[in-house]
Every structure is written in structure tokens, then in C-alpha cells.
Structure 1
Amino acid sequence: MSGAPTTIISPEQLLRELDNPDWVIVDCRHDLADPEFGRAAYADGHLPGARFVHLDEDLSGPKDGTNGRHPLPDVAALAQRLGELGIDRTKQVIAYDDAGGMFAARLWWLLRWLGHERVAVLDGDLHAWRRHGGQLTRAPVVPSATRFEPVRQPIDAPLLDVLERYRDEHTLIVDARSPDRFRGENETIDPVGGHIPGAINRFFKDNLDADGNFKPAAQLRREFTTLLDGVTPAQVIHQCGSGVTACHNLLAMEIAGLPGGRLYPGSWSEWCASDQRPVATGP
């Protein structure tokens, strides 16, 4: 569908489409320290018509101790869950959270991974929705189940690919974690502090302005062009702690008109699970 939102959408735009039967809104709220937060927050109030997805249960696959904290879900399992939510190839999906798009961007990327480009993140998250007069409801939502047909896209970079490329001068690894965690300081989530040798840091929160909205496309383009320093987007592998906030950088680059980067889903939590892989610390 021409003109379908594929990156971000403003609260004003979404308010105009609330009654559109071809649009599906998905609540992605989560708290890494409290896995039940999102479900409780949804029950307490959500956007009208919104369905809820859980980062650990719906947007991630089983952990085996070596594949990271949020491994990719099985394609068939994710497709089934999307169908249960009423999402098929005809639907426009809008993902939101209350964390600047930190978790909503994960659903954005996963849908694109399965070949569905009609997906956008609510700009400014739930806070902007409320500021613009958007209401919340506790009304239960019972989606009409459908069938989602996945067409998997090669936009992920598995561990073996990263191992092969991380020292390649034509590959740039961009780490979305906070600068202190990138340096190996104040690590409280993963058992080892540091980063993949050769990686550079772009904290995902730097994609947002003071109000929590994504910066203008032109500004994001300038910032990422400077960061990449001649490397093309197709040569970029994005990672973070567990493959969640790296999606935010991928979304920001898409907004900036710099598509083509790939996600290392296992990210630092998978990389540091083996002491056979090198670790760098400092800037």
C-alpha cells in the first residue's frame, strides 16, 4: 500500500486511524528488571484496540545459556503468534512502548525480518500519545485470528558471520549500549563487561531529542554518516546487549534514509558467553 508508515508515526496520525480495521496496534512495554511489568501495565491501561506482546515470551526464542538473553524466536512460532494477534500481510502494524521505542523497535525489526514492511513505531511513545490527547482503556481486546505468511529476509548476522567479519576493515560493528557498559564499566546485566574488539558505540538514546521523539531525519543522517565515516550501511552490523536496543539504531538509520544494516541478534550476551572470544574494554 502506497504511503504506508514504515518507520515512525506521530500520535496525531495514529489518532486519525484508530478506527481503521486494517491497522493493528501492538503494546510492547517491558522492563528488563521486572518481566511482568508490561503485562501489568497493559492491563492497567492501553491504547484502544491494542494487543500485547511480551519481549521474552513472544519476541524472543528459548535460551540455552549460550545464545544470548533474547535469541530470535522461531519463525513459525512468531508467525503463528502474529496471526493470533490478527496480523496478516494486509495489515498496517503500529508498535509502541513507554521507553522511547526501545522495545517497540524490536517488533518493528522482527516484522521486517519476516518480510512485512508495513510496520511503524509510535514516535515519542506512550508519553507523546498522552500529551496529544490520546486516551487509554482497560477494555479487553479479542483479535480475530488470521494467518501470517512469513517471508524471511537476510537482515540478521549470526554469530559465525560476526566472528568471521569483526576484524574485517570493510565491516563496522555498532554497539547500542550505554557508553559506560560499552567501556566495560558498571556492567550489571551480563557476566562480562566490555565490547567486541573493533566495535564503535552509538547509544540508542542518542537517536532521540529532549522530548523523547526521534530526531529529524536530516539530523540522524548527519550523525550516522559521521559515525560510519565512509562505511556503507550494508557493511554495518548492529548489536547491543541482547539484540533489542540495536533495533533502535537500525530504525534510526532507516529514518535517516540509510537502510541496509544487519542485526547481530545474540549481541554481547551471546558473545561473552564463551571465554574463547576476545573482549575489549575502554573507549
Structure 2
Amino acid sequence: MNKRKFVTIFSSFLMLLTLSGCSNAQSSQGTVLAKAPKTVVKYNRTAKIKATKIEAKNRKTEQKIKTLDKKIAKLRRQLKKYSSAHAVESVSAAKLATLTYTGKDIIIVNNNDPSFSKTDLSTADGAWQRYGNLDGLNRVTTANALLNKSLMPNSPREPLHVDPTGWHNKRIAGGWLYNRCHLIGFQLTGQNNNLKNLMTGTRQLNDPDMLRYEDEVAEYLKESGNNYVRYRVTPVFRGDELLARGVEMEGQSVSSNTVHFNVYIFNVENGVRLNYATGTSQIK
């Protein structure tokens, strides 16, 4: 082999080695530069969602507790107005007109159970109110209602100007002797100057005695538009007397026992002798 041929062969051999090295280098670089597949990490947020719901529920519960605390405080204030001279015994409704006041303003009737039938408690016709016609002596009779928030007034009460039977008002120590008492309180239905819903009643009868039960009903109705209370107030007269001896108040919440009472409240005023035949009075 001559020298020129050897050089040619050796040069070719070196070229092959060089090409082979480049190929390997390119292959190696391609491997390094290849993008790794994306890893998708999914977080389980179930616990966080549950925690958020529990926190929201706790806030609602705290608000309910605050509302109940306010109601309890209000009831405690109301109870301070009452002493042992108030409701203790129970009588039948048939005997109410024969009762004589002996120092107890409020008497429980029929073990505090209102006498409403299942039909009376039906909400099929929605909220309603009905007032009995005046009797032959122009005396107020019974007021009935299925109360709901929808019946409650949205405007302030206007002054009363009609005079029910037995209206012989006068000033006594602390103010006027009589009030024009609504059978169904204005705050419950908005009825105002309606002679079928007004009677002559002492301040003591109206406030605090009747108002105590009216407020109980009003608070329940305000809690929800789905709350209903069957309500009846009956003035009790003896014979042909023009001034009622008292009123029977019955209340029953529908689908619950939250509101439940049947009471008789005497129409009396401490320190005053009332003439029930006419409505006139004398200071004792």
C-alpha cells in the first residue's frame, strides 16, 4: 500500500469517527431536552367545603341564641309586672259570667286549653278576621281570627274616637280610668275604629293584662310568614250590664304548641269601684 492510499483511508476513518460522535451527541442532547409529561395534582376540597358550611350554620345558631336571649329578657321584664295576685286557678268557660273578682286579675280557663276544633285550625283559606255583630244593647260580641304576619299593619294607629257601651271615662291617679280596648289588638290586624272590635276596659285590663298575650302572639307571628295563630276574644257581660265583667282570650298556634292559652281577665281597676250596669265608677 503506498503512502497516499494510506492517508486517504486514515482520513476516511477519522471522518467516520467524527460523524459517529456527532450523531451520538445529537442523540444525547435530544434526550436531555425532551419535555417531561405534566403532572396534574387534584386537591380534595371536601373538608374545606364542610368546614365553611359548619361555620355558616354556627353563625345562624349564634344569631338564634341572641334572639332567644332577647325574648327571655323581655319575658322576665313582663313577669315582674305580675305577682301572686294573678293567674293561678282554672274554671270552666260556662262559669265566667258568674265569677266575682277576689284579687286575682287572670284566671286560667279549661286548664289553659283553647276550645278550637281541627276545622277551626285549618289554614286552607289563609289568614282571616271576623267580628260578631253588636247585640240588642249595642254591646260588642266575639272577635275571631286566623292570624298571620300578612294581617299586621304597616302604618301607625290613628286616634280612637268611637265610644263603646259603658263609656264613662274620668281621670284617676295615674291617668284615665278607661281605655277603648280592642278585642283583637291593633298590632295583630290593624283594626282600629271598629265598634265590633272595641269595648270599654280599664287601663289595668288593657295594659298589662291583655297586652301580655297580644305581645306573645305578635312575637310568634313576626318570626315567620308561615306562622299562624287561631285567636278568639270574647267579652263577658252579666245580664244586661253595659260594662263587661271581663274577657276570655284564646290562642293556639297552628302546627305547633308555641302559642297555647285560654284565660279570663277581669275588667277591674285597683282602687276604683265600677258600676257594671252603666260603666260609672267611684274612687274607693
Scaled by the length of structure 1, what TM-score is found? Answer: 0.23
- Greater helix share, 1 or 2? 2
Flag the structure with larger Rg.
2
Structure with greater proportional strand content: 2
